[in-house]
């Protein structure tokens, strides 16, 4: 009798102990591991939300906590000391951030995280990916939980303006815009405009600016429509497929991706319109406010990937190109591209001025690739080709443009 | 079916009726009616019931047909999404190279299950008649399903569906569709044939033949494992270089076949070993229960996390600290269990409690640094000291208590050291080394095992005579039950970290477990309170009359009866907690449902393919919940809930 009582007591005590130990780490102990910092609020609502501006009703309260470290301009030093970039990414966004069957993160935004790691630390795998919901992403930047946010985030004046949202925006990596999908059998065509939406019911993911854009747009065109809000994009698409609504709207990349891959569209009945998106959604990196040193690094990682694309430097030929330019320099400048030489870390390189190793961009291009490679590795899979889009090279009529590296 | 023979074959009546005191006598079987008679009596006893039978029968028929076609013969179904992502859904980013750790963990659980089944020696016997009629029904059901399902869809060489000019998918003709499902009919014919043959061969004797239920289950599992080697389920996956692999018609990879076969053999072996070790069952049982209790912690923190010990730190700090607490604490406890100590003992114990509380206070205000482990050890020591008076007595009892203390310290220090040692796992994408179904399971198991004792505590407190306990417990229970779980999860994941002292963090996983424990403890407490109220007054009085003190009365008389009555609602709560783990995604954890519903549909190959993973997730959740439900049914029958 006594014996079993002891065990019962032991069991209860252990339960309490382990409960307590699960919450605590040895705080005086240097080797406490495996704990991540507290996360700040988020409603876990939607994932792809480049047009989501109503982020921060709840984040103002925590904006003041840790921003001190951030504003002292130490992110680059902190990253170098840590040996790892904390990069905020979407929890799931087709082609931008997705986990493949092996649990490895893939995507356009994910590759830019890797590019930063390759440039700053020389290793593209030195990234700690932090999947963030739409609502918690800005708080994560403000409190320094992430060094960089590559999370299909639209650059808007309200988000950029200082105030309770302490963060800065880098150069746009992907120009997106809201579009609609309807059915030809319902009378929609490529030439349809917002005026044709009059009287239709529209599915979209709730709580984002896509909802506001379509309301404003249709009202301005003098029509009325029924809004069918859905929790997220897949739910909105499912409702569209099921016929709950006549039109489905979201960011152009998402709409085109669905139209290209959805089994319901096997007969090509879907049509994406209008050709010019109804809103501007420039997506790019976000980093802590007032840290120019770190901001310059991020900006120039993006610019370097664009310049490399312009000059035809890619992951396969970067080293050869460096050798070739160095040979040209040694030969007296015949056929020399001085900008490419500087970018790849040769004579007159400017990477050291950014606080990086001279071969930072060489590493980045070799390990991850230039803009074109990053784009083509992920975006065409959802049916968006680069040619003719806003994301084409500036020399080909697109908006992808970088300042010169000199 | 040879394994049935291995496990004892057709049992003799003695084995059925009585080697164990908790085995119940089976009530006499009702004589079975001939089929036509049964149908007339049960389905068409009157015009009204005949109409209802037909109506609802048709309803079930159409619903079942609809579900089958929706799941398997819908042109938009691409089931490759599930097998390709099976690893992602079950363990998320756990590295494939380290998968032996997952199998090892599963092995621990399998061995413990086998040993328990063997040691407990509960051999439910099942009537052969039931087995035979069950397999005939299953065969008929399979054949019927294969008949009513729509014709297969035509596919071209690339596996794409063939469509006509109106973009409608084309289906193969009826005969071809049915012949394509020959294996279902073969299976059905085998089931019906063998069972039917035995049925008629044995005649009326079939009612008096009993076979061990475990043997049947084990054979079925064996057949399922065997099917991995012969049935071409297909090979799917993503090669390390990112190539998508889809080999239809191949048998599954050897990395799946091998481990499952090993698991099956392990289960049989451990059952055998457990069964043969019966003579020492009592000690073994206690050891087994302790192992069950420790297994989740060991699996998670030691096996799966693969901690890399800093040996210098272990020898300089961890071991000396353990020894100090074990020896000094043991001495203190030995002194405190001295029967002639009197009030001094309680004063010392209270002093220890104050000391422990002071350390925590100091931690909160950051007065002086101290290892968390030391604070916890002080706290546990204080609790042991408070309980010491109950163990006052002869030398043997006192030494036993001290030994318990040393054992508790050993386990606690070992686990805390392991928990605090950084993991060597190279996980891509953050610190969370578990995700998917593993995460859901871990959270469910931790929450359930911890919520139960906490819930018992709150139930006792709520029925206590002391108003302070009663009020506090009532407030806690009503607060927890009055707030949605999502709010509680948010609170623990986002607000609690702000209250923690500087330098102390709480992982999302720990936050989720604590939130779920407290939340379900409130429900458990109410369920148990219901049970407590069903214990008659006479039981209390009888306990008092025997001179039992309060803890003896509660522990030996009241709680066992209350818990027995509470089994159905407690199992209901367990199932609810198991399913509530699907809410973890809202605090940013990648649980099973989130991966199926959001991560897989975001993969380029499977854009918007969410029905297949969701159906799979539903099936897995259902299997888990239904097993719990069946287990509770058998437990109720064993304990006679509802019948006595």
Task: Compute how many other C-beta atoms are within 10 angstroms of the C-beta atom of residue B495.
Answer: 13
Q: With beta carbons under 8 A apart, name residues in chain B contacting A268.
A: 167
pLDDT in tens, A338-395: 999 999 998 889 999 999 999 999 999 999 999 999 999 999 888 888 998 899 999 9
Contact yes or no for B506 and A23 at CB 8 A: yes
CATH 1.10.3720.10 region(s) of chain B? 435-644
Instruction: Compute the Cα dihedral for B276, B278, B279, B280 and give only its sign.
Output: positive
A165 in helix, strand or coil? coil
* B229 pLDDT above the threshold of 50: yes
Sorted by sequence, the CB contacts under 8 Å of residue B194 that are 6+ apart come out as B135
Reported CATH class of domain B435-644: mainly alpha
Candidate from A370-379, B152-161, B558-567 with smallest mean pLDDT: B152-161
pLDDT for the residue B595: 92
Contact yes or no for B404 and A10 at CB 8 A: yes
Contact A214, A29 (CB under 8 A): no
Tokens of A5: 């009582």
* A281 pLDDT above the threshold of 70: yes
Tell me the pLDDT band of A60, cut-offs 50, 70 and 90: very low
Contact B189, B139 (CB under 8 A): yes
List the single best residue of A12, A99, A136 to mutate versus B (max B Cβ within 10 A).
A99
How far apart CA B549 and CA B398 sit, in angstroms, is 20
Sorted by sequence, the CB contacts under 8 Å of residue B612 that are 6+ apart come out as B77, B78, B79, B81, B82
CA proximity to A52, closest of A122, A155, A125: A155
CA proximity to B589, closest of A94, A130, A18: A130
List the single best residue of B607, B610, B614 to mutate versus A (max A Cβ within 10 A).
B607
Task: Give the ipTM of the model, two decimals please.
Answer: 0.76
B460 in helix, strand or coil? helix
Place of tokens 């279902």: B184
Cα A307 off chain centre by: 20
pLDDT for the residue B309: 83
Tell me the pLDDT band of B519, cut-offs 50, 70 and 90: very high
Nearest chain B alpha carbon to A137? B588
Cis peptide bond upstream of A400, omega within 30: no
Tell me the pLDDT band of B416, cut-offs 50, 70 and 90: confident
pLDDT for the residue A364: 96
Mean pLDDT calculated for residue range B299-316: 86
Average pLDDT of chain A?
81
pLDDT for the residue A164: 64
Q: How far is B43 from chain A (nearest CA, A)?
A: 38
B484 in helix, strand or coil? coil
Contact yes or no for A36 and B412 at CB 8 A: no
Domains in chain A, CATH or no CATH each: 42-175+281-314+357-406 (3.40.190.10), 178-279 (3.40.190.10)
Q: With beta carbons under 8 A apart, name residues in chain A contacting B414.
A: none
Contact yes or no for A31 and B379 at CB 8 A: no
Contact yes or no for A14 and B608 at CB 8 A: no
How far apart CA B520 and CA B527 sit, in angstroms, is 11
pLDDT in tens, A132-184: 877 778 888 887 889 999 988 889 888 888 666 678 999 999 999 999 999 99
Mean pLDDT calculated for residue range B425-434: 63
How far apart CA B510 and CA B442 sit, in angstroms, is 11
């Amino acid at each position: 009798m006594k014996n079993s009582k002891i065990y019962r007591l032991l069991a209860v005590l252990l339960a309490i102990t382990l409960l307590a130990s699960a919450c605590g780490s040895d705080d005086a102990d240097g080797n406490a591991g495996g704990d991540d910092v507290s996360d700040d609020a988020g409603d876990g609502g939607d994932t792809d939300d480049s047009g989501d501006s109503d982020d921060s009703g709840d984040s103002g309260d925590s904006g003041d906590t840790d921003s001190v470290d951030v504003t002292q301009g130490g992110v680059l030093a902190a990253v170098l000391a840590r040996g790892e970039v904390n990069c905020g990414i979407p929890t799931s966004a087709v082609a931008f951030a997705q986990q493949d069957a092996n649990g490895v993160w893939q995507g356009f935004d994910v590759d830019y995280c890797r590019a930063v790691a390759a440039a700053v630390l020389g290793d593209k795998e030195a990234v700690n990916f932090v999947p963030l919901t739409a609502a918690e992403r800005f708080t994560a930047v403000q409190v320094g939980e992430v060094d960089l946010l590559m999370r299909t985030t639209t650059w808007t004046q309200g988000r950029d303006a200082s105030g309770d949202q302490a963060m800065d925006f880098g150069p746009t990596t992907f120009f997106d815009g809201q579009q609609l999908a309807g059915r030809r059998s319902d009378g929609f065509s490529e030439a349809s405009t917002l005026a044709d939406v009059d009287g239709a019911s529209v599915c979209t993911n709730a709580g984002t600016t896509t909802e506001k854009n379509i309301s404003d747009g249709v009202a301005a065109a003098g029509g009325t429509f029924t809004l069918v809000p859905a929790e997220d994009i897949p739910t909105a698409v499912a409702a569209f497929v099921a016929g709950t609504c006549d039109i489905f709207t979201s960011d152009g990349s998402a709409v085109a991706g669905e139209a290209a891959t959805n089994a319901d569209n096997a007969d090509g009945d879907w049509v994406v319109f209008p050709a010019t998106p109804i809103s501007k959604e420039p997506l790019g990196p976000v980093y802590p406010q007032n840290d120019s040193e770190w901001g310059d690094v991020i900006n120039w990682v993006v610019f370097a990937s664009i310049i490399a694309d312009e000059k035809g430097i890619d992951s396969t030929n970067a080293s050869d190109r460096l050798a070739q330019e160095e040979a040209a320099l040694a030969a007296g400048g015949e056929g020399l591209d001085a900008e490419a030489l500087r970018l790849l870390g040769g004579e007159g390189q400017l990477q050291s001025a950014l606080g990086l190793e001279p071969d930072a961009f060489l590493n980045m291009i070799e390990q991850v690739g230039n803009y074109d490679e990053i784009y083509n590795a992920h975006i065409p899979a959802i049916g968006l080709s680069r040619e003719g889009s806003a994301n084409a090279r500036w020399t080909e009529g697109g908006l992808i443009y970088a300042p010169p590296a000199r | 079916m040879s394994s049935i023979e291995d496990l004892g074959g057709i049992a003799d009546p003695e084995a059925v009726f009585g080697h164990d005191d908790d085995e119940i006598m089976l009530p006499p079987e009702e004589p079975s009616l001939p089929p036509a008679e049964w149908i007339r009596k049960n389905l068409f006893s009157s015009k009204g019931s005949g109409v209802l039978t037909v109506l609802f029968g048709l309803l079930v028929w159409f619903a079942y047909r609809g579900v089958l076609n929706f799941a398997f013969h819908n042109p938009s179904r691409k089931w490759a999404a599930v097998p390709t992502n099976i690893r992602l859904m079950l363990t998320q980013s756990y590295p494939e190279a380290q998968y032996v750790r997952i199998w090892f963990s599963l092995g621990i659980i399998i061995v413990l299950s086998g040993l328990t089944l063997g040691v407990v020696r509960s051999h439910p016997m099942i009537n052969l008649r039931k087995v035979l009629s069950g397999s005939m029904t299953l065969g008929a059901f399979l054949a019927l399903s294969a008949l009513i399902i729509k014709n297969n869809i035509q596919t071209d060489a690339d596996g794409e569906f063939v469509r006509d000019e109106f973009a409608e998918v084309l289906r193969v003709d009826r005969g071809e569709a049915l012949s394509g499902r020959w294996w279902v009919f073969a299976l059905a014919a085998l089931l019906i044939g063998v069972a039917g043959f035995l049925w008629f061969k044995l005649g009326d004797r079939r009612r008096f033949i009993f076979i061990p239920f475990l043997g049947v289950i084990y054979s079925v599992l064996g057949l399922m494992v065997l099917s991995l080697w012969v049935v071409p389920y297909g090979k799917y996956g993503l090669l390390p270089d990112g190539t998508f692999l889809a080999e239809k018609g191949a048998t599954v990879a050897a990395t799946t076949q091998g481990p499952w076969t090993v698991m099956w053999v392990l289960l049989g072996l451990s059952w055998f070993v457990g069964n043969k070790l019966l003579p020492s069952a009592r000690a073994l049982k206690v050891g087994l229960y302790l192992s069950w209790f420790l297994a989740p912690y060991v699996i998670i923190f030691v096996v799966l996390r693969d901690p890399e010990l800093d040996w210098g730190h272990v020898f300089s700090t961890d071991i000396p600290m353990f020894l100090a607490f074990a020896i000094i604490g043991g001495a203190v406890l030995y002194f405190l269990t001295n029967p002639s100590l009197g009030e001094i003992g309680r004063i010392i114990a209270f002093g220890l409690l104050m000391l422990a509380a002071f350390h925590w206070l100091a931690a909160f205000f950051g007065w002086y640094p101290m290892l968390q482990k030391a604070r916890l050890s002080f706290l546990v020591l204080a609790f042991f000291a408070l309980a010491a008076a109950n163990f006052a007595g002869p030398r043997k009892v006192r030494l036993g208590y001290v030994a318990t203390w040393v054992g508790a310290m050993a386990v606690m220090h070992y686990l805390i050291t392991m928990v605090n040692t950084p993991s060597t796992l190279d996980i891509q994408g953050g610190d969370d080394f578990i995700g998917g179904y593993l995460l859901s399971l871990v959270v469910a198991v931790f929450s359930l095992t911890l919520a139960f004792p906490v819930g018992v505590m709150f139930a006792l407190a709520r029925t206590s005579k002391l108003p302070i306990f009663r009020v506090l417990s009532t407030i806690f229970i009503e607060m927890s039950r009055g707030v949605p779980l999502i709010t509680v999860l948010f609170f623990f994941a986002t607000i609690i970290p702000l209250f923690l002292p500087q330098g102390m963090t709480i992982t999302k996983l720990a936050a989720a477990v604590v939130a779920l424990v407290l939340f379900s403890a409130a429900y458990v407490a109410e369920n148990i309170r219901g049970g407590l109220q069903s214990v008659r007054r006479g039981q209390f009085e009888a306990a008092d009359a025997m001179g039992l003190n309060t803890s003896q009365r509660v522990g030996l008389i009241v709680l066992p009866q209350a818990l027995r009555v509470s089994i159905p609602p407690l199992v209901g709560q367990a199932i609810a907690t198991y399913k509530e783990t699907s809410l973890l995604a809202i605090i940013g954890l990648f649980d099973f449902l989130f991966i199926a519903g959001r991560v897989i549909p975001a993969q380029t190959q499977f854009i918007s393919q969410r029905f297949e993973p969701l159906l799979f997730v539903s099936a897995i959740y259902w299997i888990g919940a239904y097993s719990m439900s069946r287990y509770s049914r058998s437990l109720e029958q064993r304990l006679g809930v509802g019948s006595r």
